[in-house]
Amino acid sequence: MKRYQALADTMAAEIRAGRLPVGTRLPSVRHLTTQYGVGQSTVFRAYYLLEEWGLIRARERSGYFVAPGAKVATQTASPTPIAEPAAIDVSSLVFSVLDAVKRPDVVPLGSAFPSPTLFPLARLAKSLAHAARMLDPWSTVVDMPPGNEQLRRQIALRYIGMGIAQPVEELIVTNGAMEALTLSLMAVTKPGDVVAIESPCFYAALQAVEHLGLRAVEIPVDPHAGLDLDVLAEALVKHPVRACWFMTNFQNPTGATLSIEKKRALVDLLAKHDVPLIEDDVYGELHFAADRPPPAKAFDTKGLVMHCASLSKTLAPGYRLGWVAAGRFADAIRRLKLMTSISTSIPIQAGIADYLQHGGFDKHLRKLRGALLTQRGAMEQAIARWLPPDVGFVQPDGGYFLWLQLPEHVDAMQLHRRGLEHGINVTPGPIFSARHAFGNYVRINFGHPWSPQVESAMKTLGELLRAAS
Amino acid sequence: MKRYQALADTMAAEIRAGRLPVGTRLPSVRHLTTQYGVGQSTVFRAYYLLEEWGLIRARERSGYFVAPGAKVATQTASPTPIAEPAAIDVSSLVFSVLDAVKRPDVVPLGSAFPSPTLFPLARLAKSLAHAARMLDPWSTVVDMPPGNEQLRRQIALRYIGMGIAQPVEELIVTNGAMEALTLSLMAVTKPGDVVAIESPCFYAALQAVEHLGLRAVEIPVDPHAGLDLDVLAEALVKHPVRACWFMTNFQNPTGATLSIEKKRALVDLLAKHDVPLIEDDVYGELHFAADRPPPAKAFDTKGLVMHCASLSKTLAPGYRLGWVAAGRFADAIRRLKLMTSISTSIPIQAGIADYLQHGGFDKHLRKLRGALLTQRGAMEQAIARWLPPDVGFVQPDGGYFLWLQLPEHVDAMQLHRRGLEHGINVTPGPIFSARHAFGNYVRINFGHPWSPQVESAMKTLGELLRAAS
């Protein structure tokens, strides 16, 4: 490690530990050169690196300050893994939260979706209209599972863009990623089986585990480093884990992305135990860095990874078009699909195939990513402006969620309820956990274009947080 | 009972028992007046009644003959109900049959669908294009389960046409009836529970029972009279039945429809035991008589009936638009829907709502019913022409299936396989039964416009049957 990297690491640790609160002015360059006995250029390069990491921010003519996205959602607040696999009962809590999302009078900070206004709905309508007009009546039979071939070829092309040679035959078109995930789970488990899930995790995984009568082992996710592979390795030895359901990129709710090394290690570990991975990768295309982070599927040589994705968050909300690259489980999943929902809507499949071929998906994606990045900035500024300084979060490199760590004494469920009374919906941490942990966390959504309503909602949120203190 | 009715009943019994084979010329009017000591007009009225029942047919200047749709698929061939509830394993058999449906070189006598050419796909495309163009971006949130309100109002209007005041709030839009049925079953059972199903029954019910880990009691269905309510009553006393899944109109595969009296009795019986009924009514609109047979839901005063239907067989194949009128289970099903597939495609919902309002659904339905009735006639003629005379079936009053009873020694599975070698797909009886019963039955589909290919397929089927004898 170079000297400037070591210096940056040291300072990053200070910031992440909360010893340098948000807004704190960093020591001057001169001060540091004296303190650490290093050259000015070393200090500058360390600062540039910290800035790149999103930990500090320069203000013109006043030096560097600790940025809002710097504070740690500390691992200490994550629950330790459940010692014994447990049945789950989380649905009623989730639904009381989800039902609030549909209220038009509520600012959707708690929504699971980006704003529908960010998508090329008019262009999609054109593709859908064209495809419906041209629909071969027999496609209603031919395009049944695994699905429309032209569409699956277009999807396979996107895998090539990720460096994955994805056989079209192993792609099953589904009603959004949710069906892909559920069918994948059904394909490799039976009631009573143990599955490994994340903690915190996407609440739908908890619900699926619950309604399929499975038992869950929770593996902690660190907002910086992602899934704890050591705990997973231990769980694989201790429990008869039949499947894992993990989100490898911009995890919901933490925003964590597994490094390439960890993805490779995860795939190797599971291959060693012959345990299938259900990989939820619905946010992977929403990256703010130059390149799309690869899925774990990229390192799968045994067909053990079921890579589930959709266009619901990237192109076509409400169309319900997803898929699974199902590896060795393709035929089992195709049959389950046929059995439970017969087929994905034929005109929708044809319409999306037309759009992917002619609509300009990549251009739209660039625009969408730009909008989300801008909104992340606006949200961070609003947090710095309105929320108490002891609210922490780790800046995500993609997606549209912030996982806010509130002071220990704040009850996220109560904040959620108080919020609704004031026309604000935030997603309380406990719905992301089988044991209703994360009682002082909330997830907020920056997927909506900035507006006076959102700004005002953040101000109100700050007032509610202060009132709770 | 009037004299002519008694006479008709006596003769019907003779015909149904097979004592008067298909094509047999009936005794002359003069002969009968002598034999029974009745007037000529009594005989004529009895013959008219038999003709109305589809049991005999007049040929100009040659008198009356026993019609092909007259012979009984005798109850004796139905299995007795399973004494103890049993787990089910039917999927692999079903899939080997279903996979053949997609082969374009095969005449689809074994298809589960009517020909897609019978539907107003161009008019639907117009509605879909219009709705997609006009789509409010926020409908992607607002139209999530229970679903698009305009669509649900249109569906509720159709219930009014059946004399049912269906609250819009209890209508949940689904991905076709298949999802409605599965979610309904999930809402009222948990793994290990006992459910009552029909024998023979729609194979998807068997698959659902299997993959949800339920156990099934089979209740016999008579091709004339439908479900055996006495056996059901006994089963309800003997077993902890948690739900029933029955098809009340034009049952798949037998074509049987429960009389209004039996529907009322069924609902009363289940209400007495507080057992929910999942009513699969996907063929009810395809009636050949003047009026749509009402569903059992029409007699439900306790909210115990989940009436599942779709437009897949009546209007929009491949669109995957269905619903459940869910009674007291509406909220549970709405939540399960949200949990397992999030939503039914928003543009599809809006497009179908537009069609139902402006597209001329009833006019299309009249045309479709006329086409199916014509095709039934053509199929019956082909049966009389090509199949051996000892093939029996009961003429259905709606839908597009014939349930053929083959001679005892014919193996339907083998006939299915031999058929495929000759480019014909017939659905073998064993896939409609948990115990692979109905080994000498096949279901054939008359939902396709008559063509030389179909005629030739029927000829080949006759040859295969003769070869099997």
- Which of these, B400, B314, B297, lies nearest to B352 by C-alpha position? B314
Q: For chain B, first and last CA: distance in Å?
A: 43
Question: Does the beta-carbon distance from B339 to A116 stay under 8 Å?
Answer: no
Query: 3-class SS at B194?
Result: strand
Distance CA A292, CA A101 (A): 29
Question: Does the beta-carbon distance from A179 to B340 stay under 8 Å?
Answer: yes
Question: Does the beta-carbon distance from B144 to A102 stay under 8 Å?
Answer: yes
Residue whose tokens read 């001057």: A28
User: Both tokens of residue B255?
Assistant: 């074509």
Residues of chain A neighbouring B119 (CB-CB closer than 8 A):
137
Comparing alpha-carbon positions, the chain A residue that sits nearest to B111 is A141
| Per-residue model confidence (pLDDT) at position A70 | 53
* Low pLDDT (below 70) residues in chain B: 1, 16-18, 53, 68-84, 87-91
Distance CA B329, CA A50 (A): 55
Distance CA A176, CA B81 (A): 40
ipTM, 2 dp: 0.85
Residues of chain B neighbouring A346 (CB-CB closer than 8 A):
317-320
- A18 by Cβ neighbours in 10 Å (0-12 / 13-18 / 19+) ranks as middle
Distance CA B394, CA B77 (A): 14
Give how far A121 is from chain B: nearest CA, Å. Answer: 7
Residues of chain B neighbouring A344 (CB-CB closer than 8 A):
320
User: Residues with Cβ < 8 Å from A177, sequence gap 6 or more?
Assistant: A280, A282, A308, A309, A310, A312, A322
Distance CA A100, CA A420 (A): 8
- Which of these, A389, A369, A374, A373, lies nearest to A67 by C-alpha position? A389
Domain boundaries A88-117+363-468, CATH class: alpha beta
CATH homologous superfamily, domain B75-80+87-116+363-468: Aspartate Aminotransferase, domain 1 (3.90.1150.10)
Q: How many CB pairs under 8 A join A and B?
A: 173
Comparing alpha-carbon positions, the chain B residue that sits nearest to A213 is B191
Give how far B211 is from chain A: nearest CA, Å. Answer: 8
- Which of these, B388, B377, B381, B399, lies nearest to B443 by C-alpha position? B399
Query: 3-class SS at B107?
Result: strand
Residues of chain B neighbouring A175 (CB-CB closer than 8 A):
175, 320, 341-342, 345
Contact B245, B177 (CB under 8 A): no
Residues of chain B neighbouring A211 (CB-CB closer than 8 A):
186, 336, 339-340
Give how far B236 is from chain A: nearest CA, Å. Answer: 26
Question: Does the beta-carbon distance from B129 to A124 stay under 8 Å?
Answer: no
Q: For chain A, first and last CA: distance in Å?
A: 42
Question: Does the beta-carbon distance from A320 to B344 stay under 8 Å?
Answer: yes
Instruction: Write out pLDDT tens, residues B347-373.
Output: 999 999 999 999 999 999 999 999 999
Q: Is B274 left (phi over 0), alpha (psi -120 to 50) or beta?
A: left
Per-residue pLDDT of chain A (469 residues; tens, 9 = 90+): 678 877 877 787 777 666 777 778 888 888 888 877 888 888 888 888 787 767 788 877 778 888 766 554 444 334 444 446 776 666 677 887 777 777 878 888 989 999 999 999 999 999 999 999 999 999 999 999 999 999 999 999 999 999 999 999 999 999 999 999 999 999 999 989 999 999 999 999 999 998 888 999 999 999 999 999 999 999 999 999 999 999 999 999 999 999 999 999 999 999 999 999 999 999 999 999 999 999 999 999 999 999 999 999 999 999 999 999 999 999 999 999 998 999 999 999 999 999 999 999 999 999 999 999 999 999 999 999 999 999 999 999 999 999 999 999 999 999 999 999 999 999 999 999 988 899 999 999 999 999 999 999 999 999 999 998 7
Distance CA A151, CA A157 (A): 10
Dihedral sign for Cα atoms in the order A259, A262, A266, A271: positive
Give how far B135 is from chain A: nearest CA, Å. Answer: 8
Dihedral of CA atoms B293, B295, B296, B301 in degrees, nearest 10, equals -120
Helix ranges (H only) for B91-175 are 91-101, 121-134, 139-142, 149-161
Distance CA B12, CA B50 (A): 7
Burial A439-464 (b: 16+ CB within 10 A, else e): bbbbbbbbbbebeeebbbbbebbbeb
User: Residues with Cβ < 8 Å from A17, sequence gap 6 or more?
Assistant: A72
Question: Does the beta-carbon distance from B339 to A128 stay under 8 Å?
Answer: no
Distance CA A173, CA B259 (A): 41
Among candidates B191, B342, B347 on the partner chain, residue whose Cβ is nearest the Cβ of A176: B342
Look up the CATH number of domain B119-361.
3.40.640.10
Distance CA A233, CA B23 (A): 74
Distance CA A190, CA A188 (A): 7
Q: Is A342 left (phi over 0), alpha (psi -120 to 50) or beta?
A: left
Give kind and range of the element (H or E) at residue B371.
Answer: helix B361-386
Question: Does the beta-carbon distance from A116 to B140 stay under 8 Å?
Answer: yes
DSSP result, B267-322:
HHHHHHHT--EEEE-TTTT-BSSSSPPPPGGGG-SSS-EEEEEESTTTT-TTT--E
Among candidates A104, A318, A345 on the partner chain, residue whose Cβ is nearest the Cβ of B319: A345
Comparing alpha-carbon positions, the chain A residue that sits nearest to B104 is A142
Architecture of the domain defined by A3-70: Orthogonal Bundle (1.10)
Question: Does the beta-carbon distance from B345 to A345 stay under 8 Å?
Answer: yes
Backbone φ and ψ for B271, nearest 5 degrees, come out as -60, -40
User: Both tokens of residue B373?
Assistant: 């009735």
HSE toward the beta carbon, residue A339, CA cutoff 13 A:
25
Give how far A376 is from chain B: nearest CA, Å. Answer: 22
Distance CA A330, CA B222 (A): 39
Residues of chain A neighbouring B208 (CB-CB closer than 8 A):
339-340
Residues of chain A neighbouring B345 (CB-CB closer than 8 A):
175, 318-320, 345, 348
- Which of these, B386, B342, B389, B369, lies nearest to B446 by C-alpha position? B369
Contact A337, B97 (CB under 8 A): no
Task: Tell me which DSSP letter residue A192 carries.
Answer: T
Query: 3-class SS at A244?
Result: strand
Residues of chain B neighbouring A143 (CB-CB closer than 8 A):
318
Give how far B56 is from chain A: nearest CA, Å. Answer: 37
Query: 3-class SS at B112?
Result: coil
- Which of these, B175, B141, B189, B145, lies nearest to B334 by C-alpha position? B145
Give kind and range of the element (H or E) at residue B466.
Answer: helix B452-468
Look up the CATH number of domain A121-358.
3.40.640.10
Burial A58-97 (b: 16+ CB within 10 A, else e): eeeeeebbbbbbbbbbeeebbeebbeebeebebbebbbeb
| Per-residue model confidence (pLDDT) at position A80 | 46
Q: Provide the residue ranges of all domains of chain B, joining segments of one domain with +.
A: 3-70, 75-80+87-116+363-468, 119-361
Give how far B432 is from chain A: nearest CA, Å. Answer: 14
Dihedral of CA atoms B213, B217, B223, B228 in degrees, nearest 10, equals -150
Helix ranges (H only) for A212-329 are 229-238, 260-273
Contact B423, B108 (CB under 8 A): no
Distance CA A220, CA A228 (A): 6
**What is the tally of helices (H) and strands (E) in chain B?**
16, 13
User: Both tokens of residue B309?
Assistant: 């239907």
User: Residues with Cβ < 8 Å from A29, sequence gap 6 or more?
Assistant: A40, A43, A44, A47
Distance CA A245, CA A332 (A): 18
Give how far B445 is from chain A: nearest CA, Å. Answer: 15
Question: Does the beta-carbon distance from A346 to B318 stay under 8 Å?
Answer: yes
Question: Does the beta-carbon distance from A140 to B116 stay under 8 Å?
Answer: yes
Residues of chain B neighbouring A341 (CB-CB closer than 8 A):
175-176, 178-179, 182, 320, 341
Distance CA A218, CA A232 (A): 9
| Per-residue model confidence (pLDDT) at position B53 | 67
CA A442 to chain CA mean position, Å? 14
